[in-house]
Amino acid sequence: MCGISGIIGRGWEGSQLERMVDALRHRGPDARSIFISALGVESPGQMVGLGHNRLSIIDTTPGGLQPMTCADGRLRIVFNGEIYNHPELRAALSDYPFRGRTDTEVILAAWRRWGDAALHRLIGMFAFLIWDRQTGRLIAARDRFGVKPLYYHLRADGTLFAASEIKALQRVGLGATPAPRTWANYLANGTMESGGETFWEEIHALPAGHTLTWAGGRIEISKWYDLAAQTGSAEDSRPEGEVAAEYEALLRESVRFRFRSDLPVAINLSGGLDSSLLLALVDQEAAPDAAIEAFTFVTGDPNYDELPWVEGMLASSRRRPIVCGLSAADVPALAHAVQSAADEPFGGLPTIAYARLFAEAQRRGVRVLLDGQGMDEQWAGYDYYRNEKGQPVIQGSRDPATFAAGLLPEFRALANDTALPDCYPDRLRNLQYRDITQTKLPRALRFNDRISMRASTELREPFLDHRLVELALRQPAERKIEPRPGGQTKILLRQIAARLVPANLALAPKRAVQTPQREWLRGPLRNWATEMVEAALDFGSGGWFDGPAIRRQCQKFFDGEGDNSFFLWQMISAGMILGQKRSASHGKTGH
């Protein structure tokens, strides 16, 4: 896992690329390299620069250093991610003169052979920049579900800046102003991932499953992966047993692929079905002599902590979990540190607790971890899939997630109306598609990338193999949710899991909340929360927020009304980001 940076065009200096690379050191502390070259006589005064921060996972020798060139020198790449099927691709490209063992070189060989059609052959997570010296083009690409990030800014003169994180672009003076429309969508609708928009003006995210091509000062963005087109509108009518056998075989291969590493691999566990299934598959598919550590987090509240479930899962393996604790006293400082890593709003106390886990893994020398992200979106595991609206931001809450009434009318009017996609003829798959491509999964992947890379650790998601997602999405509703009120979810997945994990874990209901965020914000964190809300109001008092209305709503929450703390966390996020922005600009609001 790594950090990548790139600049192409005119009127930029090498020191800018240096600063971008330095901003991403946490993503790759093992090596730092920069390549700069003139575009050529046909483009006078224009240069291309590529920067790389390396976290050595595959081929830890100098042979894996980037920026890397292909054998004939035409292509040069900086790459962030893992291509899990690189041995199979290497075999298919056996006539290429490979010089090392990295998956990076496999991408170069594949691109040299197949061009952008190579993307469809890659199984993994990736974001990369490829400079094609012959055509004078810079090509950026991002994986199917956006596990790995890529941000860019196109200057008015056609110069392109691109990097793994927003902070690298901001380090060279780009994207300093908060984007009102994105903030309005977040505060009114809870939307965090809206196409290519970010929370900062003039900084864009390359959407998942897309490529960006720069040539002659112009960019073209194309969609190379379309989940709806790959699955089709027809449901899978094959017998359940046939589907289950195919899915289980893919599960096993996916886990096996993600143990391809020159470093030990550990796992993150919670107490649910997905973690239980991951643990069972890891125990069966990993090498017999693999010393696999298991991490979990706790907050000291038995109403939320899943440690008893985790200990039950590990009992048969004779392993003890590595327990990472989070207390209320830890939250303020850690929240600000995580926010600094995130650049945009993140997901509250669960994300903070997860960040503590990655930090502990790093302290113990662990660099590669697996988790069970993605099954709820594939198999309709969230409770709202059963109701008519299917629109909540927060799993398990009965209250409205946001407080749009606290936004001033002109600011609130910037927010877009949210509409359910209509890619499929049935409501359930449209909900799943929305969560996979627009809401749940994109924001979870962004949170996970930042907190894992903050600790210079690589997180792999075995259940997000695109072949698994496509197969699950083709299944009819009766294989996912029982039609009766309160019926079981993830039905076919539970049938598969029942052959691999103890029955009490395969049948366990999903637990919606894993941290006492509501209780802590009402109790020991109330003063800090209030301070952050006031910082947000101070920034947005000139046109964003109705201060009295927001203070009244916060007071209701502090007094015990409602079960949803998401609105308050939104205001805390705004306070951490916008309040810091106000301080940095010495009182200028920037909006």
What per-residue confidence (pLDDT) applies to 344? 97
Residue with tokens 């990472």: 324
The reported pLDDT for the residue numbered 458 is 96
Confidence band (pLDDT; 50, 70, 90) for 505? low
Q: Are 194 and 182 in contact (CB under 8 A)?
A: yes
| Angle between helix 427-437 and helix 466-473 axes, rounded to 10 deg | 160
With cut-offs at 50, 70 and 90, classify the pLDDT of residue 587: very low
User: What pLDDT was estimated at residue 506?
Assistant: 56
308 within 8 A of 281, measured Cβ to Cβ: no
pLDDT tens, residue by residue, 83-97: 999 999 999 999 999
CA 116, chain centre distance (Å): 23
Give tens-digit pLDDT for 207-217: 999 999 999 99
| Residue 62, both tokens | 């100098």
DSSP H stretches of helix in 58-142: 86-92, 103-114
Q: Which helix (H) or strand (E) holds 151?
A: strand 151-154
User: Residue 473: which of 211, 268, 236 has the closest Cα?
Assistant: 236
pTM equals 0.95
pLDDT confidence bin for 591, thresholds 50/70/90? very low
Please check whether residue 131 is in contact with residue 75, taking contact to mean a CB–CB distance below 8 angstroms.
yes
Mean pLDDT within 265-290: 87
Question: What pLDDT sits at residue 393?
Answer: 47
Please give the pLDDT value at position 151.
98
Least confident of 73-77, 201-205, 289-293: 289-293
Does 184 have pLDDT greater than 70? Answer: yes
Burial degree of 126 (CB within 10 A; 0-12, 13-18, 19+) = buried
Q: Report the candidate in 346, 392, 355 with the shortest Cα–Cα distance to residue 569.
A: 346
Is the predicted pLDDT of residue 388 greater than 80, yes or no?
no
| Nearest partner of 228 among 495, 436, 423, judged by Cα | 423
* Gap between the Cα atoms of 213 and 148, Å rounded: 18
Report, as an integer, the average pLDDT of 9-31: 97
Q: Which domains does the chain have, with CATH numbers?
A: 2-177+198-225 (3.60.20.10), 240-387+426-506 (3.40.50.620), 517-584 (no CATH)
Q: For residues 132-144, give the mean pLDDT.
A: 97
Predicted pLDDT at 394: 57
Angle formed by the axes of helices 427-437 and 440-454, to 10°? 30
The answer to whether the beta carbons of residues 82 and 103 sit under 8 Å apart is yes
The pLDDT score that the predictor gives to residue 320 is: 84
Q: Exposed/middle/buried for 241, CB within 10 Å: 0-12, 13-18, 19+?
A: exposed
Q: Tell me which H or E stretch contains 83.
A: strand 75-83
Q: Which carries the bigger pLDDT value, residue 382 or residue 583? A: 382
| Residues pairing with 8 in the sheet | 48, 160
Q: Which two tokens stand for residue 355?
A: 């960040």
Report the DSSP beta bridge partners of residue 34.
51
Which tokens sit at 112?
């040299």
Axis crossing angle, helix 273-285 with helix 240-257, rounded to the nearest 10 = 70
Of 105, 120, 146, which Cα lies nearest the Cα of 461?
146
For the record, the structure tokens of 235 come out as 């449901």
